[in-house]
A and B are shown apart, each in its own frame.
Chain A
Amino acid sequence: MKKFLSLFISLVLITTLLAGCGPKQGTSQTEEDTPKSNTTETTEAKEKTPEKEQTTQTPTTETTTAEQKIIFALHDVPDGIDPNVTNNSFATPFLSNCFEGLVSINEKNELAPALAEKWTISEDGKTYTFTLRDNLKWSDGSPLTSADFMYTMERILKPETTCQNVTMLTDYVVNALACYEGKVPFDQVGFKAPDEKTFVIELMDPASFYIDILSLFIYCPVQKATVEANGDKWTLSADTYVVNGPFKITKMNMNEAIVLTKNEHYWDAANVTLEEITFRMIKDQATALLAFDSKEIDGMRSVPMADFARLKAESNDLHIVPSYATSYYLLNNAQPPYDNVLVRKALNLAVDRNSLIENVLQGNAIPAYSLFAPGYIFNGKDFTEGRSNYGLSANANVEEAKKALAEAGYPNGEGFPTMKLSYYTSPQVKLIAEALAQMFKENLNINVEITNSEWAVYYAEVQAGKYEVAAMGVGADYLHPMSFAPVFISTEPTNDTGYGSKFYDEKIIAAKKELDPEKMLNLIREAEDILMEDYPFLPLYHRSSSLLMRDYVQGWTLSPTGNFCFKYAKVVK
């Protein structure tokens, strides 16, 4: 009897434990439960009244949320929210809404004037002259002038500021690199502010895509007063975080919630409808999905892949935005047998990209046959239009793959050493790695050993060249094909592939200097053709990013480079 009693008690305990689980839902449940438990003592007639009260309550709560306020769940804390310093994608929700540079990307993914009203580019393509808007102000009401830009650029070029994207200045602007290295003072750098409303940038070499680079957050001005008064800590509290964008931060608790309210001093404040955005940090995506389903939040980033198919089939709130990015596997070109182009070709042919996308990614991507992602439109034509598939297809071409492997000296995979396929710890990447391994095994008869490690360890090993086949991806910083090019330039530090082709390097350098945009794109295409003759890597797919947002929140934008802006968003009910 005692046994049964203890069993019963443990069961009860387990059920209470389970009831205690589940994020925050508990609070809404208890609210519902309390009136009911009160009524158990009263009569049946009375029991119905509290429920009626509840139903009348719900519309009133709805009208309160119909105010211009939304709650949005983010899942990772950025390493910082200083626009000059960070390059972290988790910072973009804050930076896109709090800061604005000279130019920005609009909802059609085109370049649009922002703080700069207009600009002129000199005929040699080296001098950019910007005219700022009238009455630009910081969120504390003080005026924003070209002096702020000068201060910001000087700040970026100090090594102690540790700007992650500093090459976006030093690669292009006159004397910027020398200043960064401490060889020349800042007044010799190609930034000038002739008057309060004019800001001039001088480039070393003409670069027609430089205007796209200017939309990066690193070029956003910061306020001298607050940075000098608070040092590095100016981004840490809401009071000292002085901004110039459509929203300002009023409550900051990075690990829980950040509240953004409308910035009245923003130049376009008349067109900003949304009053308040709350970014809630919910680390677990499944938990965030629960909160979304229970209407606790209005939207969330990064839908769990496992639920993607279900949501796509059932929900109207799922939005899919193509990313300007490419996911691929690195093949270590410096290491046999992957130094053999035929082996790399065989691996490329053996992968069934369609099957990966349809079944593993649940259709959330398009197959990739090269490095450069589609999404850059020039003269109404996408850059990738008319591009060759480089002998690759969406489905595996097993015969050709086997032929290439045989030519390389491994007929039917015989004698091929066990492949070390490495990936970084992430559920999605794991599935892809396992599926790939199986494809190599089945289609090429190669033995595959899969290993994984945490991103920090993994990336260090990849950079050191200690890998054979490794998962990697590249997301463009700015919306221009040139953003992808450095991955395979032999002199670039970001080139971890062991691949180097002087023909490719030459074409890219020529493209950088080309002033005519169309000719430049042609040069990039030629470089790409040279690159893909060697199959230096294993392109898999161009991913898209997904987010959940209720249909009553409209007008938000998510750019292919990941800028997530609520400037023109509003709640319509």
Chain B
Amino acid sequence: MSKEIIVSPADWEPLDIENDLREKIWSTQRTFAEDVWFRFSHKKSAFAGLLIILLLMLFAFVGPYLTPYSFDTQTLDFSNIPPLMEVTNVDDNLFYITANLKVIHVGNNGKLLAALPKLKEDTAQKIIYYDFNGRELPLSYQKKPAAILNHEGKRLRRDNKVWNTSYWLGTDGLGRDLLTRLMYGTKISLIVALIATFVNMTIGMIYGGISAFAGGSVDTVMMRIVDIISTVPLTLYVILIMVIMTDGFLSIIIALSSVYWVTMARVVRGQIYSLKENEFVYAAKTIGSSQSTILFRHLLPNAMGPILVTATMMIPSAIFMEAFLGFIGIGIAAPMASLGTMCNDSIQALRSNPYQLFFPSLMICIIMFAFNYVGDGLRDALDPKLKK
């Protein structure tokens, strides 16, 4: 291990002493926003939530341009067709038998081609004859489930399974594409939630801010009003508003935004109350800043962290409220789709067509999870006490 270490004499010379170098912090320096983003993006659940929200937005806002259907395009012949069809193969032609004993010709690629016209019905034998390109196709419903008969009168089994490529998620009771309706439903949910949250945030910030900053009897009166509003169960309140106004998009937003701001007002008031005795407020007062400048330029920006967290947490509850209103039948007017009304429409058919309920409820779950995780992540990221 004999290795000569040669040190040149120049290395022993002292370095130039430069002040800024000595003062320099050698670790990466981040602004507050970068710091928040760093912590947010390093929390996996939060980042996943954000990604899901972005995907959902793509699905909801770009998706409708990519489907050939609209939310109200009905094809009554193709009502209640599931995504995965059990079909009967008759001489290389595939047929799907619907629950109400109709026969639908299905292409080999899973496209729905046409509902066959009925020729005649033999009620004694319990056979319905359908016309397929001039050929008679007998469907027997004597034994359950119904089956197509071949030339010898034997029941053909439904042994092929084909994915429905005309309607990826199947159709509802009026033959509308569930995927398209899901896109529109998600869009409605997101828009309602974002607008309602924005309005709530604005009202809450102004109301809470004024209440705390003015203090004294103004604060007492304003906060008692908040107390009164919050003692009325919010759901009841929203329902009442919805009943007075006609059902529609605007009234949902008005109903949600006129009630949900009380939480925000309380949070803001608490924050401002603890901030308003700080030195920077006195300094601002000393140099003659107006009341509104102090409130909106100095106090509120300092309380932005908790406000943002409350706002993000408010989004999922607004979405849920919208879905709930739709579900109990006072949501958006038909035929527009929202996740809640889709659930409401399909709950009746739960036992016969469970897929119709599954997709919108799954979508609600995903949205709720995504927004809750993002809210969680934001709270951790914005709170300096949790800084590692």
A interface, CB within 8 angstroms of B: 3, 286, 289-290, 304-310, 312-316, 352, 355-356, 358-360, 362-363, 425, 427, 430-431, 433-435, 437-438, 449-452
- From B145, B329, B349, A314 is in contact (CB under 8 Å) with B145
Do A362 and B100 have beta carbons less than 8 Å apart?
A: yes
> Which residues from A are CB-within-8-Å of B329?
425, 452
How far, in whole Å, are A477 and B76 apart by their CA atoms in the complex? Answer: 34
**Which residues of chain A are near B45, meaning CB under 8 Å?**
3
CA distance A358 to B145 in the complex (A): 19
CB distance from B200 to the nearest CB of A (A): 28
Q: Known contacts A313-B101, A359-B77, A450-B333; decide if A435 and B174 are in contact (CB<8 Å).
A: yes
Residues in chain B near residue A356, CB distance under 8 A: 76
Stretch at the interface among B9-17, B58-66, B270-278, B350-358: B350-358
B380 at the interface (CB under 8 A from A): no
Q: How far is the CA of A316 from the CA of B347 in the complex (A)?
A: 24
A–B complex contacts, Cβ < 8 Å, 16 sampled = A290-B351, A304-B348, A307-B351, A312-B100, A313-B145, A313-B146, A316-B144, A355-B76, A359-B79, A363-B101, A427-B345, A433-B334, A438-B335, A449-B333, A451-B246, A452-B247
Chain A minimum-CB-distance residue to B175? A359
For chain B, residues 132 to 182, give those with C-beta under 8 angstroms from any C-beta of chain A: 141, 144-146, 173-175
A451 to B345, CA, bound (A): 16
Top 8 nearest A-B pairs (CB, nearest first) are A306-B349, A309-B99, A309-B100, A359-B76, A306-B348, A310-B352, A314-B144, A362-B100
Cα separation A451 to B173 with both chains bound (whole Å): 19
List, in ascending order, chain A residues with CB within 8 A of B76's CB: 352, 355-356, 358-360, 435
CA distance A290 to B351 in the complex (A): 9
A289 touches B173 (CB 8 A): no
Instruction: Closest A residue to B97 by CB, please name it.
Output: A313
| Chain A residues within 8 Å of B77, by CB | 355, 359
Q: How far is the CB of A362 from chain B (nearest CB, A)?
A: 5
- Decide if B197 is an interface residue (CB 8 Å cutoff): no
Q: Provide the bound-state CA to CA distance between A289 and B174, in Å.
A: 23
Indicate whether A363 sits within 8 Å of B100 (C-beta atoms), given known contacts A289-B351, A306-B173, A450-B333: yes
A359 vs B79: C-alpha distance when bound (angstroms): 7
Give residues of chain B (79-107) contacting chain A, Cβ–Cβ below 8 Å. 79-80, 98-102
- Nearest residue (CB) in B for A315 is B144
Query: Considering the chains assembled together, what is the distance between the CA atoms of A398 and B45 in angstroms?
Result: 56
Kindly state whether residue B72 has any CB partner on chain A within 8 Å.
Answer: yes
Q: A313-B145, A435-B74 are in contact. List 18 more A-B contacts (CB 8 A).
A: A306-B348, A306-B351, A307-B351, A308-B100, A313-B99, A352-B76, A358-B76, A358-B100, A359-B76, A359-B79, A359-B175, A360-B173, A362-B99, A435-B76, A450-B333, A450-B335, A451-B247, A451-B333
The distance in angstroms between the C-alpha atoms of A314 and B335, with both chains bound, is: 31
How many angstroms from the CA of A437 to the CA of B76 in the assembled complex? 13
Measured between alpha carbons, how far is A290 from B350 in the docked complex, in Å? 11
User: Would you give the 0/1 interface string for B316-341, flagging 1 where the beta carbon is closer than 8 Å to chain A?
Assistant: 00000000000001000111000000
Instruction: Give which listed residue, A286, A290, A312, contacts B347 with CB less than 8 A.
Output: A286
* B347 proximity list for chain A (CB < 8 A): 286
Taken together as a complex, chains A and B put the C-alpha atoms of A438 and B353 apart, in Å, by 23
Q: CA A504 – CA B146 in complex, angstroms?
A: 48
Given contacts A363-B100, A438-B72, A451-B333, contact A309 B352 (CB under 8 A): yes
- In Å, the complex CA distance between A438 and B335 comes to 9
Q: Do B334 and A307 touch (CB < 8 A)? A: no
Cα(A434)–Cα(B345), bound, Å: 12
Once the chains are docked, how many angstroms separate the CA of A434 from the CA of B175? 11
Find out whether the CB atom of B74 lies under 8 angstroms from the CB atom of A307: no
Assess whether B335 is in contact with A313, with CB atoms less than 8 Å apart: no
Q: B344 to chain A: which residues have CB within 8 Å?
A: 427
User: What is the predominant secondary structure among interface residues of chain A facing chain B?
Assistant: helix
In contact, A360 and B348 (Cβ under 8 angstroms) = no
B102 CB contact (under 8 Å) in A304, A358, A360, A425: A358
Bound together, the chains give a CA A435 to CA B77 distance in angstroms of 12
**Known: A307-B351, A309-B352, A360-B76. Contact between A430 and B334, CB under 8 A?**
yes
User: Which of A309, A314, A355, A437 contacts B80, CB < 8 Å?
Assistant: A309
A310-B99, A313-B100, A438-B74 are known contacts. Are A360 and B79 too (CB-CB below 8 A)? yes
A360 to B80, CA, bound (A): 10
Q: Tell me the bound Cα distance from A306 to B144 in angstroms.
A: 18
* Cα distance, A304 to B145, chains bound together (Å): 20
How far is B295's CA from A158's CA once the two chains are assembled, in angstroms?
72
The answer on a CB contact under 8 Å between B350 and A286 is yes
Select which of B74, B174, B348, B351 is within 8 A of A305 by beta carbon: B348
Instruction: Indicate with 1 or 0, residue by residue over B282-293, a CB within 8 angstroms of chain A CB atoms.
Output: 000000000000
Q: Is the CB of A434 within 8 A of B174?
A: yes
Closest CB in chain B relative to A465 CB, distance in Å: 19
Contact in complex: A309, B351 (CB < 8 Å): no
The CA of A290 and the CA of B144, in the complex, are separated in Å by: 20
Contacts of B352 in A (CB 8 A): 306-307, 309-310
Give the distance in Å from the alpha carbon of A304 to the alpha carbon of B347 in the complex. 11
Nearest residue, chain B, Cβ from A306: B349
Known: A314-B145, A358-B100. A431 touches B173 (CB 8 A): yes
For B77, the closest partner residue in chain A by CB is: A359
Closest chain B residue to A431 by CB distance?
B173
A361, chain B: closest CB distance, angstroms: 9
A316 vs B98: C-alpha distance when bound (angstroms): 18
* Distance in angstroms between the alpha carbons of A552 and B59 in the assembled complex: 53
CA distance A433 to B353 in the complex (A): 21
For A452, what are the chain B residues with a Cβ–Cβ distance below 8 Å? Answer: 247, 329, 333-334
Are A313 and B144 in contact (CB-based, < 8 A)?
A: yes
For B329, the closest partner residue in chain A by CB is A425
Cα-based distance from A286 to B354 in the complex (angstroms):
13
Q: Chain A nearest CB: distance from B85 CB in Å?
A: 15
Chain B CB within 10 Å, residue with most, of A314, A434, A437, A450: A434
- Give the residues in chain B near A451, CB-CB below 8 Å: 246-247, 333
Complex CA–CA separation, A430 to B332 (angstroms): 13
The digit string for B104-117, where 1 denotes a CB below 8 A from any CB of A, is: 00000000000000
Residues of the A chain whose Cβ atoms lie less than 8 Å from the Cβ of B145 = 313-314
Chain A residue with minimal CB distance to B349?
A: A306
Least CB separation from B146: chain A residue:
A313
Contacts of A433 in B (CB 8 A): 334
A434 and B335 in contact, given A313-B144, A313-B146 (Cβ under 8 angstroms): yes
Contact of A309 among B72, B98, B335 (CB under 8 A): B98
> B349 contacts which chain A residues (CB < 8 A)?
304, 306-307
Q: Which of B173, B345, B351 contacts A310 (CB 8 A)?
A: B351
Q: Select from chain A the residue with minimum beta-carbon distance to B352.
A: A310
> In the complex where A306-B349, A309-B80, A313-B100 touch, is A360 in contact with B247 (Cβ < 8 A)?
no
A3: B residues at CB distance < 8 A = 45
Nearest chain A CB to B341 CB, angstrom units: 9
CB distance from A21 to the nearest CB of B (A): 12
A431 to B174, CA, bound (A): 7
- A residues in contact with B333, CB < 8 Å: 449-452
The interface bits of chain B over 38-69 (1 if a CB of A lies within 8 angstroms of the residue's CB, else 0) are: 00000001000000000000000000000000
Q: Whole-angstrom distance between the alpha carbons of A389 and B174 in the complex? A: 27
B-side contacts of A289, CB under 8 Å: 351
The residues of A that contact B74 with a CB separation of less than 8 Å are 434-435, 438
Q: Which residues of A contact B173 (CB under 8 A)?
A: 306, 360, 431
Q: Which residue of A lies closest to B336 (CB)?
A: A450
A492 to chain B, nearest CB (A): 31
CB distance from B342 to the nearest CB of A (A): 13
Contacts of A352 in B (CB 8 A): 76
Given the complex of chains A and B, what is the CA–CA distance between A316 and B142 in angstroms? Answer: 10
A307 to B346 Cα, complex, angstroms = 11
List chain B residues, Cβ under 8 A from A314. 144-145
Chain B neighbourhood of A355, CB < 8 A: 76-77
Residues of B within 8 A of A304 (CB): 348-349
Q: Is the CB of A360 within 8 A of B174?
A: yes
